[in-house]
Structure 1
Amino acid sequence: MLERFELETLFALADELHFGRAAARLHVSTGRVSQTLKQMERRIGTPLFTRTSRTVCITPAGQQLHDDLRPAYDQLRAGLQKAMAATGVVSGVLRVGYTTLWCGDLVVRAADVFRMRHPDVDLRIREVLIHDPLGALRAGELDLQLSEFPIDEPDITTGAVVLNEPRALLVPADHPLARQDTVSLEDFAEAPLITIAGDIPDYWQESHFPSRTPSGKPVPRGRAVTYWQEVLPEVSAGKGVTAVCARAVHHHMHPGVAFVPFRDAPPVQYGLMWPVGSESARARLFMDTILEVAEAARTPR
């Protein structure tokens, strides 16, 4: 007997034929989708999909399983949704956090849509301070959070990537790098790097504030600040540079600083996360809503 998530994985992959999009629909990582598919294929004894570095195709066996199971699954899901609507199951309190202003903007827009659809849910939104990105989740103060990846913790479940944002280097306005159109990851070696101090995983720090450039040059360290508001005056005073999301230029302008985009850095990923074992119908519905609102914002009008 296949479990519910295995069925959802089968149907999402069959619809999308893309592991990343299937993972986004299911609010999990691509690794979780791949692992679940392998488990199904071992249990059934035959490949359900063929995949290369560029394509994903459903096999005849996978198509047959999909066609046989989809009608029953759709009927079961429709029945559950009717029961939830009839009994008012989607109610209660949902607490959602975010770390940056652009994440907050998205959460608030999604909240407007969510409240119209689910007026019985008491939706509460709060900012999460960057120096303690997981504290509120671990303390049971939040049910769901939108903030920077990577997060790889045994007590935190990570879901879909909601935003992919270009990176920039925040530099003093009179620094030679400020006169360039773009910067490289190698330019981290040119000035002290201001970082964030706090209860933050080491791998997260290395992802956002690397200790070495791609070629192996050491990156000099500047002051480690606790709050974002401390970063701007530090940089303006010439104490160092720091890595930021390029979108910060629209939210955090300050005299004496310049935002220079990277030409070779991967994007900053912002994703959904929640405590392991705590996912609720309310949280799942809000995740659906925030992905819908984010996709609508990306789609040209």
Structure 2
Amino acid sequence: MMPAAVLVAPGRFEVRDAPVPQPAAGEVRVRLEGCGVCASNVEPWEGQPWSTYPSEAGGMGHEGWGVVDALGEGVSDVAIGERVTMLSGHSFAPYDVASVDQLVRLPAALDEQAFPGEPLACAMNIFRRADVLPGHTVAIVGIGFLGAVLTKLASDAGARVIAISRREESLALARANGAAETIAMDDHWTIIERVRQLTGEALCERVIEAVGKQWPLDLASAIVGFGGRLVVAGYHQDGPRQVNMQDWNWKGIDVINAHERDPRVNLRGLNEAVAAVAGGRVDLAALLTHRFSLAELNEAVAATRDKPAGFVKAVVTF
């Protein structure tokens, strides 16, 4: 048996005993070192109309990394003791299983470093779908973990990044990751006018919305230029959205939903994420600002929602 987080009511994880998972054919079991806490955890934790309780043991945890400790039948290309990051779904517990084709070995350069790979893989996939080119003006709406990584990738690609976010410390984070301009996310029309000023009325070739709420989506739509591309990276999980189709039509923009479900695409992003951090392209350690134990998972999710001073991303460690 192992301790595992179980969501028993809105806003309340409990740590309960659960069976240690066994790897099926083509799977490995990983003894986890930790798991990142995702912004997508917040709304299910708070409770949604379709929620049922209790949740699956370890469920909602999908940003795990650790050491392979058991192999399922037919697995031969990974060894017990190898350190990996993986794509799985029950990592709010000390053990989880993953398909052997959904994990990536961590190189020696990342020894002893926390590595929640899934959100970095998302960033890599979003950036690819955005098709950012040198000389583009790229607005990023919402600077948290994802927005900061995308700011770094876009600025390194030769784009001029305009970062838009609520908190001054988030704007400072964007500047540290290469943003050329920052705008406080306070008034809709003031922001649009500022983007017009910064772009000579042309607005932006690329806009990445990374919040997952209605107003940031509206704002992102408004600052895309003619023939530009709106990239929806925010996770809109709380119901339908309205869009300004008149504006979309008139400007002739491309709209990209940058959430991937093809396991091969996700694995590609995970490989790119490992390479980016190992090669020094992304400073992951600087973005993992808060650490919690499994027993403190409620506090970790609350911090992800409330963003105390200095917060970028939380990880649960075992």
TM-score normalised according to structure 1 size: 0.30
Of Structure 1 and Structure 2, the greater helix share is in: 1
TM-score normalised according to structure 2 size: 0.29
Question: Which protein, 1 or 2, shows the higher relative CO under an 8 Å CA cutoff with sep ≥ 6?
Answer: 1
Bigger Rg, structure 1 or 2? 1
Of Structure 1 and Structure 2, the greater strand share is in: 2
